[in-house]
Amino acid sequence: MPHPPRFLVATPISHASGGFITPVFLLGGTVYLEAGFDSEGFMRAIERQRIDTAFLVPTMICTLLVHPQIRRIDLSGLETVLYAAAPMSPARIAEALDIFAQVFMQGYGQTESPCIFIVLRKQDHDTAHMARLGSCGRPVAGGCVKILDDQLYEAPTGEIGEICIRSPQVMDGYWKQPQETADAFRGGWLHTGYMARRDEEGCIYIVDRAKDMIISGAFNVFPREMEDVLAQHPAVSMSTAIGVPDEKWEEQVKAIVVLRPEARVTAEELIRLVCEKKGAVYTPKSVDFAESLPVTALGKADLKQLRTKYWQGEARQVH
C-alpha cells in the first residue's frame, strides 16, 4: 500500500474490504466509505479524493470498463486495485490493464480460511504472459496449499483437483454443525470446494466451484472455462453458464450473456466460438441474452437465482 494510503471502499465492510480498514489506519491513511457501488460515483471519488488504493470485485471492474467516461477520468493517482471474490477472465484483465495501467492485485481466500491465501501480484499482471492472467497466483507464506484429488493425493501438475489448505488461520469448524465440519476437514485438510490446477511455475488456476460444475452427458463442464472464451468476443461484457434440465443430456449447458452497449452478436456466433476454442463438450446448447446478471450482496453472479427460472416444477435441481 502507498504511505499513507487513501483507500476507497465500495463493497460491504462485513466482507473482505473490512479487513483492510485497520491496516490503512495503522499506516496513517484515510478510508473513504461509499454507501454502495455505482460506476459514476466511484469514478468521481477517485478524482475528487485522489484515491490511490481501492478494493473491487470483478463485476464492478467490468461495469467500469464499459462506462463511456472511463477513459476521460484522471486515474494517474491510483496505485493499487485489489480484486477478489470471483474469477476474472484474462481478456477483461487485459482490458483493465490498458485503461488503469499495472495497478491490479488479485487475492483468493474464503471465510473459512481468512482472508487471502493465494495472490497474483501486480508484477504478474503482465499482458506479455496472457495465460498467467487466468491464474489467481501463488500461495503466500503462513500455510500449506495443495491441489488434491478424490483420494487426497496431490494432483499432478496440470491436472484438476480441489484446493485444500492447512494453516493456523483456518477455522476450528462450523458453529454447531459437526457433520459439515467433518466433511470440510477430510484427511486433516480444509476442503475449499474450489477445483483448480497448478502449472510448472506454481501458479494456481481456479477452474470453478465444485458445486457449480455442470454434468452434461456424463461429462464435467466448468462454467469458468466457457466464460473465459466468451469474454474474448468484443461484443460481450459479462457472461456465465448454468445447467438446465434436458431429457437427453440430463443437464444442458446454457450461456447467459450481457452485451456491451450498442453491441450486436448472434447466439449462433457465440456457440460457434466456444466450439472452436473448447470443443463440443463445453459448447452451450443455447444462449440467452440479458441486460444484466443478478449478483449477490458480495458482487458474485447469483447462479441460484439464474437457475430458478429454468428449474421450476422440478423435484430437485439436478438431473
Task: Work out the pLDDT band at 59, boundaries 50, 70, 90.
Answer: confident
pLDDT tens column, 66-80: 999 999 999 999 999
> Where are the chain's structural domains?
6-139, 144-209, 213-311
pLDDT tens column, 148-173: 999 999 999 999 999 999 999 999 99
Residues of the chain with pLDDT > 70, as a percent, come to 97
Kind of pairing, strands 144-148 and 138-139?
Answer: unpaired
Task: Work out the pLDDT band at 260, boundaries 50, 70, 90.
Answer: very high
Residue recorded with cell 467490468: 62
DSSP string covering 41-57, please?
HHHHHHHHHT--EEEE-
| Chain length of the chain | 319
d(CA 200, CA 216): 30
d(CA 291, CA 303): 16
Residue recorded with cell 491510483: 78
Q: Which amino acid is at 285?
A: K
pLDDT tens column, 110-161: 889 887 899 999 999 999 999 999 999 999 998 899 999 999 999 999 999 9
CATH fold for the domain made of 144-209? Luciferase; domain 3 (2.30.38)
Handedness of CA 250, 211, 106, 40 (dihedral sign): positive
d(CA 56, CA 106): 10
Tell which CATH classification among 3.30.1360.70, 1.25.40.10, 3.40.50.2300, 3.40.50.980 matches the domain 6-139: 3.40.50.980
